[in-house]
């Protein structure tokens, strides 16, 4: 593998990880992430993904799986389970994080990511419940919606760290 290819195979993971501080901050402070902020992520990663598919480093089998997950996520967003910025981040993960390059490239990474995301969401439930009790609110719904960027980012970090 050439040095350029080694860099390109790691670029999607690095770019997705680089977004974590920004999206978590905006989700907590403003409860919104403007859609234009996602453009650099997509502009950088679309050509990289196409190159990695062309070189055979990304498995073509990931494409239908990514599309099915993307459609399911869109339907979940339409039903109010999360917002548009969360959907765009999850779509980017499904589209670009095909293999986990750390320590060496392996697997279809976004499958493991969704397993970690379920675990992160299960951990989010008691945290939201405690915050609601402390604030004198009842139920699960958090004012302004649950800041989903936190469990999404935690799941991405776990996927990169643990495979």
Each residue's pLDDT tens digit, 61-81: 888 989 999 999 999 889 877
Interatomic CA distance for residues 60 and 20, integer angstroms: 27
Enumerate the H helices of 30-60 as residue ranges.
39-54
Query: φ, ψ for residue 40 (rounded to 5)?
Result: -60, -35
Which helix H or strand E contains 36, and what residues bound it?
Answer: none
Percent of the chain with pLDDT over 70: 93
Q: Say yes or no to pLDDT of 104 above 70.
A: no
**How many independent structural domains does the chain possess?**
1
Cα–chain center distance at 80: 18
Region 34-60 average pLDDT: 93
Q: How many angstroms separate the CA atoms of 162 and 137, rounded?
A: 36
pLDDT, mean over the chain: 86
Asked if 5 and 55 count as a contact pair (C-beta separation under 8 A), the reply is yes
Q: Output 154 or 127, whichever has higher pLDDT.
A: 154
Domain that holds residue 93: 3-162
pLDDT of residue 139: 62
106-134 mean pLDDT: 79
What's the distance, CA 65 to chain centroid? 15
CA gap 66, 12 in Å, rounded: 15
Residue 39 in this model has a pLDDT that exceeds 90: yes
How crowded is residue 92: how many other Cβ atoms within 10 Å of its Cβ?
19
């Amino acid at each position: 593998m050439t040095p350029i290819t080694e860099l390109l195979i790691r670029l999607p993971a690095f770019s997705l990880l680089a977004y974590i501080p920004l999206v978590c901050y905006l989700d907590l402070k403003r409860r919104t992430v403007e859609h234009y902020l996602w453009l650099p992520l997509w502009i950088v990663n679309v050509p990289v993904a196409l190159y990695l598919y062309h070189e055979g480093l990304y498995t073509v089998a990931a494409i239908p799986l990514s599309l099915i997950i993307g459609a399911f996520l869109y339907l979940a967003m339409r039903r109010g389970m999360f917002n548009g910025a969360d959907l765009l981040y999850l779509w980017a993960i499904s589209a670009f994080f095909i293999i986990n390059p750390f320590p060496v490239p392996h697997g279809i990474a976004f499958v493991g990511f969704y397993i970690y995301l379920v675990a992160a969401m299960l951990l989010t439930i008691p945290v939201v419940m405690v915050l609601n009790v402390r604030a004198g609110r009842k139920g699960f719904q958090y004012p302004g919606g649950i800041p989903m960027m936190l469990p999404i980012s935690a799941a991405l970090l776990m996927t990169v760290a643990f495979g």
